[in-house]
Structure 1
């Protein structure tokens, strides 16, 4: 079931259009993105790197920088402990290159997803201690590592935590919340209480980037020296599915611009093996092409391969590493598809289908694929989904949520059944004893307050707009609103009474349909649908006229440009 809703926010769209030189339709979309004042609209359309926030606003930053400068001066060994996903790899890269250039004696370790699990562990601390490490700095992890940080401190090590995840908390008897922080020497995380940093929605690599900006400034480096890290902060922001709002949007826009001519051998090779040399790189290419290759190394092998690619200084070696990551990602796609089919079969043939929160146990599934499979199942059923797999020590899993369900807070309610957990409102990771699976599933659903309406797919329409209004100049203006992604979705337009004819199915998997669209006045446009082609064509024959939600694009063929309407939903 779908619920279509028009975003009916008010403003002087014609006035805004005149002021900023854009079509009133563009002005309306900007208003729907909650940009109201002239200053906000100007930043949204033309914001630059001079508008991102200073590292000085982040709580714990001064202490962290003071410690790092002291350790660099004393020639103490520093070890970065990152994470195995795209954000962890980019964070580790930024800190490693930045600290080295600042004169630090520094190395890295990244946990193995299967052997070590998420984040800093006692085993990784022991390895650091045996290597003579004086200071551990975490990135994209550490905020919930109470025991591990205490253990490192007991060995006499200095610990700096840089992270962006939710701060762990306990609910008190009076209903108040008490936050719990690890006993680190410095904590840099914009979500901690009392932090003045204005935008809390940054990823781990952005926190790492701010730290290096601060270090370079303290060292007296020119501001331009910070610029080489922007594209990696951008890759992590999109790859870790952060909201593309505020400074995130500025950094991603600037990062995409720089990626086109990146000086990084590894990134250049990854772009090349995915045949994107001539493409106008967008957030889509990070999220669905390049990013998954980086993530695949941490899923099916070791994330150190992805880091080595980014660190590579030899073009031939970079090409080999990039090809290896692409092959890993191709393998990951096949394994994911099998897992999705197994999960859907379980939901359709058991009592799970009645649950509002889907807890799906796939014991033989590769644990690194749980999150991807959970995301795909969520798309099918529009319910929160947790996929569990059998690990070496009990059961591990990943969850993906919907906007109306704060997954991290819901897991807190069931923490007695879990061995470990952490995450965001929209995603989480967890582990638990196998015998607790059924009790966990029942507890989550018992405590769940989701209504049928909460679980209904919502199609938010920016502008009800006739397809006849679409022109090539309007489509080009839409590019001012990029990059698109979470928190800055591609605009959605809609029109009623559309006749769909001359449908032709293309593609190896029959997942592309080309068609002709006629409005009520007989105006005709080319259209395209991406999805199950045969199901689409069969359904379209059920009635003569349809309402469509769409996005207009430019199709270029033999040097000739034409308008193509991408149909996204239909009722």
Structure 2
């Protein structure tokens, strides 16, 4: 693996270090995040809810609030349509709770993935309207490009508020009487709320609604504590892989704390069934690999109404049963995912797909609920944009995942004549097409990707070294500073440090066959403990100077908090 390190100008590091009274190492890490202004750096290191911008700065926020207040005053029937992923589920939960608190009795609907497809389809709308005829419908985490479906609702006399963060297509424009809150459509690309996912936008909407109620002395103005909603916001934000910067960082920072000590029985039951360690701080990875997949499993394989109801109810026994169901569904999802992944990898090998600019693989037997996860795995393994497609009815449907530098939305727009539908984000997208068009789509998409690539090659991406340290730099003081950068996530990755001339004084200790523990020697004091995951086939020599690439963090075990290295790669100095 190639290591890459760009040396930053020392005067810039020194200036920021002195301005904030922080180490040069922390100053360097901030500069690598593009933060050079001392005031911005201070806000980044010490996020505060007071730093959130006025929610009324979002385009159409006032219109959405006024229409909602009218619905509350007139006791209108309201329907909430939310997507079936974690962002959609938490958005639906949050808005349902808020509207109930303010006196409405909203009916919520989440699409049945296999029967109704993604988002605001005609099928899910017909089910949503089968039991009631609302005066107002909220579309959450969908709807930006649903021109025909919104027109269908309008023709039935139903007003529509869309709160969404998906990018719009040039040829899809909602009517002006539709209230759309979507920063990617209307707002300044530098706005600190630009990259909020839908649950973050619903939180902003709730904030705006409460502000209005307080200004007008509404009797229920103080019925909701906004801080109590942040557990839902963090769940959706981390799971949706949006950048953990600006307002996303603030909401996630406080939301992680709220999840760990949540008063919500559904969160408590989910924490328990997920095996979270309550004695150590919650990290975004706990959401990404434990909580999020269990919530997502229901939308992938069953009905996402289950986790919504779990998160809404105050009955802990019901929450426990629901969490156990989610856990069982997640285990089923893992088995299905493993099978599809192995088959897809086999096809990539036998069909030589890894030699193309993009990997596009199709099988009518694959489960549509896991194609996005499998596409993500293959894109990381082969460092190529990847689409995994399966058969649904008469159409081929699937999900794509990209790599840095390749914008899926731009590429798909140039293939749109071959697609029945498409949408998503630059790094993740979904498509539907006629199976007879797959071969043509593969050719066209590869040509488009080739034009995006220019001189970019598909070599293994280099390991980015944030800073080179000595073993003596590995102190608890440095760790306390690194913790100021938490939470790590998209666009704020956990730093990887290079250590030159490191000495592992004793042979490593292998455990569970594929991992090992080690120590590195310091010139004075105790050695630093380290761990290497799935690296037992690549064991470094002891008592030999080495270059190590490591992460550095606190390890929590049996009530103790100690510094620990995580080995990412190692090299002999000459390499």
How far did 1:339 drift?
1.8
User: Is the CA contact (8 Å cut-off) linking 1:270 and 1:322 kept in structure 2?
Assistant: yes
Measure, in 1, the Cα distance between the counterparts of 2:390 and 2:511. 36
- Partners of 1:57 and 1:195 within 8 A in 2: no
Quote the residue 2:180 is aligned against: 187
Does the 8 A contact of 2:16 with 2:36 survive in 1? Answer: no
How far 1:426 moved relative to its partner?
Answer: 0.7
Partner residue, 1:285:
286
Contact 1:358 1:386 in 2 (8 A): yes
- CA drift of 1:129 comes to 3.5
Separation in structure 1 between the aligned mates of residue 386 and residue 296 of structure 2, nearest angstrom: 21
Deviation of 1:554 after TM superposition, in Å, equals 3.1
Pair 1:46 & 2:32 matched: no
Q: Deviations over 1:58-115 (max 9, x none)?
A: 1111111121111222222110100000000011011111112122231111101111
Aligned-pair Cα RMSD in Å = 2.5
3-state DSSP class of the match of 2:507? strand
- What residue number does 2:408 align with? 407
Q: CA deviation digits over 1:475-527, x for unaligned, max 9?
A: 122111100011111011112444556233322xx342223446999996433
Residue 218 of structure 2: aligned partner: none
Distance 1:242 1:128 in 2: 29
Instruction: Decide whether the 8 Å contact of 2:83 with 2:110 is kept in 1.
Output: yes
Per the alignment, in what secondary structure is the counterpart of residue 5 of structure 2? strand
- 1:166-225 Cα shifts (integer Å, max 9, x gaps): 11115xxxxxxxx63356521111111356854311101111111111112222213963
Change (3 A) 1:570 1:434: farther
Deviation per CA, 1:222-268: give whole Å up to 9, x if none: 39632222221111110100100011101100111122211100001
Retained in 2: the 8 A contact 1:468–1:523?
no
TM-score, with length taken from structure 1: 0.92
Query: Deviation at 1:561?
Result: 5.2
TM-score normalised to the size of structure 2?
0.91
Distance 1:385 1:541 in 2: 38
**Shift of residue 332, structure 1, vs aligned partner:** 1.4
Q: How is 1:324-335 mapped onto 2 (pairs within 5 angstroms)?
A: 324-335=325-336
Q: SS at the partner of 1:286? A: helix
* Pair 293,199 (structure 1): closer, same or farther in 2 beyond 3 Å: same
Give me the whole-angstrom Cα distance separating, in 1, the residues matched to 2:536 and 2:192: 49
Match of 1:463 in 2: 467
Match of residue 536, structure 1, among 535, 538, 546: 538
Deviates more, 1:358-367 or 1:43-52: 358-367
1:176: which partner in 2? Answer: none
Moved more, 437-446 or 498-507: 498-507
Q: Give the direction of change, closer, same or farther, for the CA distance of 1:194–1:523 in structure 2 (3 Å limit).
A: closer
Which position in structure 1 is the counterpart of 2:207? 213
Structure 1: gaps spanning 5 or more residues: 171-178
Deviation per residue, 1:133-185 (Å, 9 max, x gap): 12111011100101111111112211111111111115xxxxxxxx6335652
8 Å Cα contact 1:79/1:137 also seen in 2: yes
Contact 2:372–2:399 (Cα < 8 Å) also in 1: yes
Aligned match of 1:256: 256
Preserved contact between residue 360 and residue 386 of structure 2 (Cα < 8 Å): yes
1:200 to 194, 200, 211: 194
1:319 aligns to what? Answer: 320
What is residue 361 of structure 1 aligned with on the other side?
Answer: 362
In 2, the alpha carbon distance for the partners of 1:522 and 1:345 equals 51
Distance 1:313 1:224, change over 3 A: closer
CA deviation after TM superposition for structure 1 residue 329, in Å:
1.2
| 2:334 is aligned with 1:341 | no
Q: Which moved more, 1:161-170 or 1:1-10?
A: 1-10
2:176 and 2:90 map into 1 onto residues whose CA distance is 25
Question: 2:80: which partner in 1?
Answer: 80
Residue equivalent to 2:353: 352
- Select which of 478, 502, 509 maps to 1:474: 478
Q: Which residue pairs with 1:483 in the alignment?
A: 487
Decide whether the 8 Å contact of 1:161 with 1:184 is kept in 2: no
Between the two proteins, the alignment pairs up a number of residues equal to: 558
> 1:27 aligned to 2:31?
no
User: Residue 408 and residue 517 in structure 1: after superposition, are their counterparts in 2 closer, same or farther (change >3 A)?
Assistant: same
Alpha-carbon shift at residue 385 of structure 1 (Å): 1.0
2:544 matches 1:515: no
Q: 1:43 and 1:248 mapped to 2: Cα distance?
A: 13
Per the alignment, residue 67 of structure 2 pairs with: 67
Residues 103-112 or 246-255, more deviating:
103-112
Q: Within the alignment, does 1:504 sit opposite 2:509 as a pair?
A: yes
Q: Which moved more, 1:15-24 or 1:271-280?
A: 15-24
Q: 1:363, 1:389 within 8 Å by CA — same for their partners in 2?
A: yes
Q: Secondary structure at the match of 2:261?
A: coil
The 2-side partners of 1:464 and 1:327 are apart by 44
Give the deviation of 1:278 after TM superposition.
2.8
Conserved? CA contact 1:388–1:398, under 8 Å: yes
**Equivalence for 1:134:** 135
Q: Is the 8 Å Cα contact of residues 207 and 226 (structure 2) preserved in structure 1? A: yes
Map Cα deviations across residues 107-130 of structure 1 (whole Å, 9 max, x no partner).
Answer: 111101111111112223233444
